[in-house]
Amino acid sequence: MKSFVKCLATVVALTLVVYGFSTVLSTGGNAAALGAAQAQGAKDIDGSVKQCLRVMDLKYETLRDGVYEIEDKKYSLRYHVFKEDERLMVLVVLNEKVPSGFRPAVIEYLTRINYGAMVIGNFEMDLSDGEVQFRTSVDVEHGSINPEMVAQMTRLALGYTEQYGPGIDELYKGKTPEQVFDAIKKADE
Query: How far is the C-alpha of 95 from the C-alpha of 15, rounded, in Å?
Result: 15
Query: How far is the C-alpha of 113 from the C-alpha of 107, rounded, in Å?
Result: 10
Position 31 scores a pLDDT of 52
CATH 3.30.1460.10, domain 2-188, yes or no: yes
Position 30 scores a pLDDT of 56
Is 40 or 137 the better-scoring residue by pLDDT? 137
Query: How far is the C-alpha of 156 from the C-alpha of 149, rounded, in Å?
Result: 11
Tell me the domain boundaries of the chain.
2-188
For residue 72, give the amino acid letter: D
pLDDT digits (tens, 9 = 90+) for 165-189: 999 999 999 999 999 999 999 998 8
User: Which stretches within 91-166 are classed as H helix?
Assistant: 103-116, 147-164
Position 142 scores a pLDDT of 87
Beta-ladder partners of 81: 88
| Helix or strand run (H / E) with residue 13 | helix 2-18
Crossing angle of helices 2-18/147-164, nearest 10°?
90
Q: Is the pTM of this model over 0.85?
A: no
pLDDT digits (tens, 9 = 90+) for 65-122: 999 999 999 999 999 999 999 999 999 999 999 999 999 999 999 999 999 899 999 9
Q: What is the mean pLDDT of the chain?
A: 83
Query: How far is the C-alpha of 111 from the C-alpha of 95, rounded, in Å?
Result: 20
